[in-house]
Amino acid sequence: MSKQVRTRFAPSPTGYLHVGGLRTALFNYLYARHHGGSFVLRIEDTDQTRYVEGATEQLIESLKWAGLSYDEGPDVGGDYGPYVQSQRLGIYREHAEKLLASGDAYYCFCTPEELEAMRERQISRGEQPMYDGTCRSLTTEEVQKKLDEGIPHVIRLKMPREGETVVEDVIRGTVRFQNELVDDQILIKSDGFPTYHLANVVDDHLMEITHVIRGEEWLQSVPKHLQLYKAFGWEPPVMAHIPLLLNPDRSKLSKRQGDVSVEDYREKGYLPQALVNFVALLGWNPGTDEEFFTLEELVQQFSLERVHKAGAVFDINKLNWMNGHYIRQLSEDELVSFLTPFLEKAGADVSDAEKTRKIILAVYKKIERGIDVYDAASIFYKETLEVVEKEAVEILTQETTCTVLRNFLQKLDTVDTLSMDNFKELMKTVQQETGIKGPALWKPMRVALTGMVSGPELPAVIEIFGKEKVSRFIRQMVEEYC
RNA sequence: GCUCCCAUCGUCUAGAGGCCUAGGACUCCGGCCUUUCACGCCGGCAACGGGGGUUCGAGUCCCCCUGGGAGCGCCA
């Protein structure tokens, strides 16, 4: 019987949750849930210079919004805590000392300036920039003397100078690295904090993580990690490096070229189920033509074996389509509660709940994101009418248009109020009396009322407008164009 | 520059040697439905980067080239 599966998502709290991070979290979540294991959230805040107020809370909020629940984490606890690395400093120190004692790590007193100069020299010579090992040869006495003098220092990993490290990656297969080309990675910084590499390995081991699923950008540092596992005498977890999310120009997905934070998408009116579904399909697919999945279905079908190797462009266009699909899937009540805030934020008066509801139901099929709703509904919030579309003007200047509009105006006098039903009746009468039907009948009405050739279903527009507005707009059009 | 990864329509992808006349989805373009507009449905455009092998047979295996990406921090 193999071990209980345990995966983790280990973000650095430097801002918001990146969509690439969301996908990494999702794959970890899906893998753990699929195997009945545990999913852990661990905060990797070992860089004091990058501390961002409230970032952890934001991360947790975004994860919660996406529906990715974790079994252990800073806010829910667990048997392997604490789950925030800045609260585990003693543990890293202790482990670094073990490495020092066993000879797998060494003190380094080189200054940042010296290292910078070294790097420049190497680059100018066309070499791979890496630490030259100066402090490796320091004697115990020399080291002790410098420590006693209080000279700032770091602790470095002593990578073997020969041989190779072989990585068995679930997604990439066998990858080999020449040890001599792997740098003596800093494990403990001069401020006493561990670097990612040390903290990550120590925590994954102590937290009994069985599968490390993370972005491909980490593949290159796996030999360092494997060397650490070896030095500690630990069994490394299964590795799975998933392909990167790309900008349209195929560079690594970044800000500058569009929205990258989950929060951005949430604010623009993307639904969590759409974003999750979309992102799951970037680099993974079930091998069928299915493309819509609930989180539960993803859990059932997910496997690392079906994850791709190549990077995937984050195609906002397809996300929009998928989000539109999920919006159309919403119940009427869900539509109203989801979209009303977007109308309000855009400046619409939503105090009349019944009217707002009608407006939302009239336009929801035409939008792809929450933020689109105001534009789609704008005709309902204007008290004046102005025709600018070329095609709209053409329709208004057709001969039959005036006949239709004048006739409709007459019929309008016969009713007190307008509803979807009696409007259709009126239109039928207009058709019979004028002999004009189809597009020639309806399009002039649409343009005369909305100023545009495309928009919500007309009967719905009429009912929401009410008789006064309908009458006023059509009279105006007759005056201007007939 | 060095190291590593990757390579099917514009994009996401199916394809684990014959089932491929290369399938699906988004976008775009037609059409149908609708007395209007959407939604929906149907159809169309569009790809195996190049060259060598291996094999009776290669999108599928191997090699080279080309192209793209990532990494090379006292950042994660």
Cβ atoms of A424 and A376 closer than 8 Å: no
A34: which 2 tokens? 């699929």
Q: pLDDT per position in chain A (482 positions), as tens?
A: 457 999 999 999 988 999 999 999 999 999 999 999 999 999 999 998 888 999 999 999 999 999 999 999 999 999 998 999 999 999 999 999 999 999 999 999 999 999 999 988 888 887 788 999 899 999 999 999 999 999 999 999 999 999 999 999 999 999 999 999 999 999 999 999 999 999 999 999 999 999 999 999 999 999 999 999 999 999 999 999 999 999 999 999 988 888 899 999 999 999 999 999 999 999 999 999 999 999 999 999 999 999 999 999 999 999 999 999 999 999 999 999 999 999 999 999 999 999 999 999 999 999 999 999 999 999 999 888 888 888 888 888 888 899 999 999 998 888 888 888 889 989 999 999 988 888 989 999 999 999 999 999 999 999 999 999 999 999 999 998 88
Residue at A309 is within a domain: yes
In the block, which residue shows the tokens 């009468």? A429
Per the structure, the complete domain to which residue A348 belongs is given by: 332-382
Same domain, A213 and A249: no
The protein residue nearest B12 (Cα–C1') is A282
Interface predicted TM-score (ipTM) of this complex, two decimals: 0.95
Same domain, A193 and A112: yes
Residue at a domain's end among A349, A366, A382: A382
Show which residues of A are catalytic. Answer: 255
Same domain, A137 and A250: no
Same domain, A317 and A209: no
* CA–CA dist A99, A105 (Å, integer): 5
Cβ atoms of A434 and A404 closer than 8 Å: yes
Same domain, A96 and A184: yes
Distance A47 CA to B31 C1' (A): 60
- The total number of structural domains in chain A stands at 4
For A254, list phi and psi in degrees, rounded to 5.
Answer: -145, 165
Q: Which nt has its C1' nearest the CA of A319? A: B26
- Closest alpha carbon to A213 in A58, A51, A33: A33
Same domain, A409 and A317: no
Return the CATH number at A4: 3.40.50.620
Same domain, A91 and A181: yes
Q: Which nt has its C1' nearest the CA of A288? A: B14
**Interval A381-425: pLDDT, tens:** 988 888 888 888 888 888 889 999 999 999 888 888 888 888 998
Half-sphere exposure of A119 (CA within 13 A, CB side): 9
Same domain, A321 and A455: no
Predicted TM-score (pTM) of this structure: 0.94
Strand ranges across the sheet with A211-215: A38-41, A6-9, A211-215, A238-242, A164-169, A173-178
Residue at A79 is within a domain: no
Residue at A219 is within a domain: yes
Strand ranges for A243-341 from DSSP E: 245-246, 312-313
Cβ atoms of A64 and A216 closer than 8 Å: no
Same domain, A313 and A406: no
Distance A141 CA to B35 C1' (A): 97
- Inter-axis angle of helices A420-434 and A458-465, to 10 degrees? 120
Residue at a domain's end among A207, A224, A242: A242
Same domain, A248 and A143: no
Residue at a domain's end among A226, A242, A258: A242
> Which residues are CB-neighbours of A209 under 8 A, at least 6 positions away?
A6, A7, A8, A40, A203, A237
> Which residues are CB-neighbours of A208 under 8 A, at least 6 positions away?
A3, A6, A80
Residue at A80 is within a domain: no
- Closest alpha carbon to A320 in A268, A284, A283, A263: A268
Cβ atoms of A279 and A252 closer than 8 Å: no
Question: Please, which positions of strand B sit below 7 A from a protein CB?
Answer: 1-8, 10-15, 23-27, 35-40, 68-76
Distance A186 CA to B73 C1' (A): 10
For A38, list phi and psi in degrees, rounded to 5.
Answer: -110, 145
Distance A74 CA to B72 C1' (A): 33
